[in-house]
Structure 1
Amino acid sequence: MLIVGFDTLKADKEDYIYKCIKEYKVGGVILFDKFYNDREKAKNIKNPAQLKKLTTELQNINKEKLLISIDQEGGRIARLKQEDGFSKTLSAKGLASLGEETSRKHYTSIASELQNLGVNVDFAPLVDLGLNKESDVIYKLDRAYGDDAETVSKYAEIFMDELANHKVISCLKHFPGHGSAKGDSHEGFVDATTTWSELELEPYKKLLYKTKMIMTAHVFNKNLDDKYPATLSYNTNTKLLREKLGYDGVIIGDDLQMGAIKEHYSNEEALKLSINSGVDLVMYCNQLGDDKAEDIIDIIYKLVINGEIAQERIEESNKRIDRLLSEI
């Protein structure tokens, strides 16, 4: 149930990530090209040959399949960059202006590259509606296909299809909608109460039949939950997404080290609330903090032993994750 970030370009026996996978049996890793606080320093990605070697090393540590994930939306949000020897990518906004045929070819190229490099999860497509033109994290980065659900759903589906054709799992984000909010949840608390509308659920409704993974937003919305942001909200993740919309795939929480969570909740509180809310995969990217896998696992174990998380909740998530792994 744990996806972690790590700080090396390799995964030898002396590297910490080797221990995370071999001993602690983490479910997956997330790859970054640069360190968050040092954009000149390579973190996990240097060039195609190095990355292929790394993913092979990671996958060979255990006999169980490992989720190897990346943020490769295209445009400004691309961990595989042209200057490092990877293919050039275009933004969602840019592709939507070029039409479906161009988009399909472009997404075939991205999906094929990911498959060849050994990456099997892409945290894309983003299906937030580009509603708030003041949004530094969505609209201003050209991450939205448009401001209407039909356009967003159409181009997102093309991306999903091409990833699936290349055995790469796609992930719709950020549920239940980040596009109307102005703030950036990396930095701190974001409130969408006065801006959000049910229109932002439309892409999820349209694509739910083929969605295997959905990522939650760290956005607070009093209309859905008057106490917790979506990642920690039972009302949002179980009552709305699972029960009302009928989704039974994997829910992954956005990085629990982001300011919107870390500044207001301890690891223990965040883990208890997110898992009990219906989240199946918890993510510690180790870009905005340094949390050890064994510490996170110990916290979850104690919460189960103390009866604060039901063992059935853990088993339920494991079944969903196993089903996801069977797709790759």
Structure 2
Amino acid sequence: MPTTTPLTDSALASRIVQGMSLDQKLGQMVIVEFYGATVNGDLTQMIQHNQVSGVLIENKNGNAQSRGQLVSLIQGMQKQAPIPLFTTTDFEGGVVNELRQITGERSSEQTIGASGNPTVAYNAGHSAAADLTNLGLNVNFMPIVDVLTNPNNPGLPMRTFGSDPTLVTNMGRAYLKGLTDGGVIGCLKHFPGLGSANLDPHMALPTMNRSLASLNAIDLVPYRTMIKEGIVPMVMVTHILNPQLDTRLPTSLSPNVVTGLLRKQLNFKGVIISDTLWMGGISNTYSLAQAAVLAVQAGTDLLLGPRGLADTQHMIFGLHQAVMNGQISQAQIDASVTRILEMKLHYKIIPHDKALQLARSAVNPGSQGNIER
């Protein structure tokens, strides 16, 4: 009898990737927005045909109208997904709460930070995780770990824990641990820091002229500390222009920032996700496909941004063409998708039996004895 060897999440993810087509891999690098409260034809097309990695639930898109409706919507989407979906949202509290209509108000980061008590932050994260898991959501784009150095910052009203890097680190760590202990994937944002921004990147591209030494002393403290502690599953890169990091490209599209600073200097091993690529800070200059290609070239794993079926197909087609003409390597795509699937496996988004089924379809019959049953 052949012996069975358990596969690590990484090895199992790699095995699944081996059996995927290029377009299936590219779909797993995209999280989409959609309109409406039910599973419609466009949404089905994105999930079944384009095989997107996940969905972003937003109240403004009509996705979250009532508890029963949202639970039914998420269950319906997951039933259609060839690979189980990231179901994501911005459940921050305060001014940004995409589930307010269902869950009610939650304390803002400013209020949590003002307590000075990490237990308050932990409880907020753990409570958020309970709400999210009850609805079927598995990713919260939180905590915000921007250090507020510009009190007139237009994009972060009430959305930061404070202006002291140590306080922000301690509160962010506690909130993230609350999410993690509650079974929800957290995401540090907005790398490399929006605390000194002069504009809201939703509207236009902010600029700052900050040295790496200054960033290391202030903005990067929460990232560096928590990444070193090995507790960060995902980091979101924002849209800001800092000529001292890259004279030409915004942070979200810059290899200097995404790969050079985050992946190499800070030694981040997890999933890197872009902030939404339809924001004015990017879309005022780049098409969605252009931005997607540049973001992936920079080292981004997951792309947040297409709104609906046409956007999604446009983005995936642009990425496909970039791979075909050598602008992006197959090896880079495989590495990103492996990280994404490894995260889905680690957090049990892909159940074990489903993972084995996906892996078996990617190996020769004679090799199946090596896959743990």
Q: TM-score, normalised by structure 1?
A: 0.92
Shift of the 266–103 alpha-carbon distance from structure 1 to 2, 3 Å rule, reads closer
Paired amino acid for 1:23: H
Please say if residues 114 and 162 of structure 2, whose CA atoms lie closer than 8 Å, have aligned partners that are also in contact: no
Matches within 5 A, 1:60-209: 60-81=79-100, 84-98=101-115, 99-138=117-156, 141-194=157-210, 197-198=215-216, 199-208=218-227, 209=230
Paired amino acid for 1:310: S
Query: C-alpha distance in 1, partners of 2:249/2:298?
Result: 10
Shift of the 97–258 alpha-carbon distance from structure 1 to 2, 3 Å rule, reads same
Shift of the 183–103 alpha-carbon distance from structure 1 to 2, 3 Å rule, reads same
Gaps in structure 1 of 5+ consecutive residues: 36-42
User: What's the C-alpha RMSD, in Å, of the aligned pairs?
Assistant: 1.6
1:279 aligns with: 300
Query: C-alpha distance in 2, partners of 1:187/1:291?
Result: 22
1:241 aligns with: 262
Shift of the 290–16 alpha-carbon distance from structure 1 to 2, 3 Å rule, reads closer
Matches within 5 A, 1:308-319: 308-319=327-338
Query: C-alpha distance in 1, partners of 2:180/2:170?
Result: 16
Q: Deviations over 1:237-275 (max 9, x none)?
A: 111111111111110001111111111112332122110
2:72 aligns with: 53
Paired amino acid for 1:213: M
Please say if residues 37 and 64 of structure 2, whose CA atoms lie closer than 8 Å, have aligned partners that are also in contact: yes
| CA shift for structure 1 position 88 | 2.8
Paired amino acid for 2:146: D
1:227 aligned to 2:255?
A: no
Please say if residues 89 and 139 of structure 2, whose CA atoms lie closer than 8 Å, have aligned partners that are also in contact: yes
Of structures 1 and 2, the larger Rg is shown by: 2
Query: C-alpha distance in 1, partners of 2:53/2:102?
Result: 29
Query: C-alpha distance in 2, partners of 1:85/1:272?
Result: 36
| CA shift for structure 1 position 27 | 0.5
Query: C-alpha distance in 1, partners of 2:324/2:171?
Result: 45
Q: TM-score, normalised by structure 2?
A: 0.81
| CA shift for structure 1 position 308 | 1.1
1:10 aligned to 2:38?
A: yes
Please say if residues 190 and 237 of structure 2, whose CA atoms lie closer than 8 Å, have aligned partners that are also in contact: yes
| CA shift for structure 1 position 123 | 0.4
Q: Deviations over 1:281-327 (max 9, x none)?
A: 111152xx985312211111111111111111111100110111113
Q: Deviations over 1:187-207 (max 9, x none)?
A: 112101159633211100111
| Aligned-partner SS, 2:226 | helix
1:214 aligns with: 235
1:24 aligns with: 50
Please say if residues 47 and 86 of structure 1, whose CA atoms lie closer than 8 Å, have aligned partners that are also in contact: no
Shift of the 226–290 alpha-carbon distance from structure 1 to 2, 3 Å rule, reads farther
**Which residue, out of 48, 53, 63, partners 1:44?**
63
2:357 aligns with: none
Paired amino acid for 2:329: A
Select the structure that is richer in helix.
2
Paired amino acid for 2:30: L
Gaps in structure 2 of 5+ consecutive residues: 1-28, 348-373
Query: C-alpha distance in 2, partners of 1:194/1:45?
Result: 39
Query: C-alpha distance in 1, partners of 2:113/2:288?
Result: 39
Paired amino acid for 2:258: N
Query: C-alpha distance in 2, partners of 1:272/1:285?
Result: 13
Please say if residues 30 and 285 of structure 1, whose CA atoms lie closer than 8 Å, have aligned partners that are also in contact: no
How high is the sequence identity, in percent, across the aligned residues? Answer: 31
| CA shift for structure 1 position 16 | 1.0
